[in-house]
Amino acid sequence: MEETAGSEVMEAETASETEQQEVTEETEETEETETDDAFGQEYLAKVYPLMEQKNYEGLKKLTTSAEAQEVLNGMKEDVVTYQPDRTEQDISGTGVGLYRYHGKGGVGTAYYYYFGDYDDGIRHGNGFTFHPLDGGWERYEGNWESDVPQETFTKKETGLYNGEPYEATTTGNMTDGLENGDFKETVNALGLQFEMNWTSENGVALDIYDGFEDWVKQYLAEIHQPGYSLYALSMPSDGQNVYLWWNIYDPFNEKLGIYKYTFE
C-alpha cells in the first residue's frame, strides 16, 4: 500500500511538472509571437507613409533592407497588417499589409506589400501592391473583393532589360486574382516603344506561336521549346527590325496572376 501511494505521489508530481513545462512553453511561445508581431507592426509603420505617398524609391530601399528580411524571417503567419491608431485585431478602412507566399511544392518564397481598403482584415475595395525587383519594382492597382483582385487592373513595372532600364504598363481584367480576358502592355525599352497584346483564360496565357509566318517562327525557334508558351510579340512603333516577346516557361502549370505567377 505504501509503495502504491508513493508511486501515485511520484506520478502526480511528474504530471504536475509536465503541465508546468507545457504552460512555460506556451507562455514563451506567446511572448515570442507578441514580440514578432510588435516588431512587424513597428516595421509596417515605416512602410505605411511610403505606400500612402507612392514613394517607390523609398519603398524599395526599405523593403529590401536587413530590417525587412528580419521581419520576413520572424513571421509566424503569411500575413502581417498595420493601421495607424489600430484598436481591433482585424482592421477595417485603410491599412497596409505584408504578404508572403510560397512556390509550388515548397520551392521558393516571395513577398509583396498591399496598401488600400480592408474589411475585417480582408482586402476589399481599392488598393495596390508593391513588389521590389532587381533594378526596379512592380505594382498592381485596382479593385479587390474577398482578398483577391477583381475586374480591371493596371500593372506598372520598372527594371532592367539587357542591362538597360525599361518601363512597362499593363491593363486587363482579373477574375479571382487570375488574368482573364484581353491584355495590352506598353513597353519602353532600349530607347523604343513596344505594344504587346495577348489573351488569358483563367490565368492561362494562350500560346500564339502557331499564328505567325514561318520566318517569324524560325526567328523564335530558340525560345519556343517544350514547356514554353509564346504569348506576346511586338515590333517597336517606329518599325525598326527589332522584336520584343514575352514567353512563359511553365513546368508546374503555373497561372498568371497578381504575383506575376500564382502557385496552387
In angstroms, the Cα distances linking 64 to 35, 111, 117, 209 are 22, 11, 24, 37
As a whole number of angstroms, the longest Cα–Cα distance in the chain is 101
For residue 257, tell me if it sits in a domain. Answer: yes
pLDDT tens, residue by residue, 52-65: 999 999 999 999 99
Q: Which residues pair with 96 in a beta bridge?
A: 82, 115
d(CA 197, CA 182): 7
Whole-number pLDDT of residue 28: 42
Lookup result for grid cell 512587424: 40
Structure-model confidence comparison of residues 88 and 180, the more confident one = 180
d(CA 247, CA 250): 9
pLDDT tens, residue by residue, 108-144: 678 899 999 999 999 999 999 999 988 899 999 999 9
Nearest to 131 by CA among 146, 114, 109: 114
> Residue 236: which pLDDT band, with cuts at 50, 70 and 90?
very high
Residue 230, pLDDT > 50, answer yes
For residue 172, tell me if it sits in a domain. Answer: yes
d(CA 136, CA 59): 11
For residue 188, tell me if it sits in a domain. Answer: yes
For residue 70, tell me if it sits in a domain. Answer: no
Domain that holds residue 184: 134-264
For residue 252, tell me if it sits in a domain. Answer: yes
Lookup result for grid cell 521590389: 132
Phi, psi of 143 (to 5 degrees): -95, 140
Q: What's the whole-model pTM score?
A: 0.81
pLDDT tens, residue by residue, 3-41: 445 555 555 555 556 556 554 445 444 444 444 578 889
Whole-number pLDDT of residue 30: 42
Structure-model confidence comparison of residues 158 and 242, the more confident one = 158
Any idea which of 67-71, 118-122, 223-227, 249-253 has the lowest mean pLDDT? 249-253
For residue 231, tell me if it sits in a domain. Answer: yes
For residue 43, tell me if it sits in a domain. Answer: no
User: CB-based burial of residue 92 (10 Å sphere; 0-12 exposed, 13-18 middle, 19+ buried)?
Assistant: middle
Nearest to 39 by CA among 47, 49, 27: 47
Number of structural domains in the chain? 1
Whole-number pLDDT of residue 14: 57
d(CA 73, CA 184): 37
The x, y and z cell numbers of residue 10, run together, are: 511520484
The x, y and z cell numbers of residue 26, run together, are: 506556451
For residue 169, tell me if it sits in a domain. Answer: yes
Nearest to 89 by CA among 156, 41, 28: 41
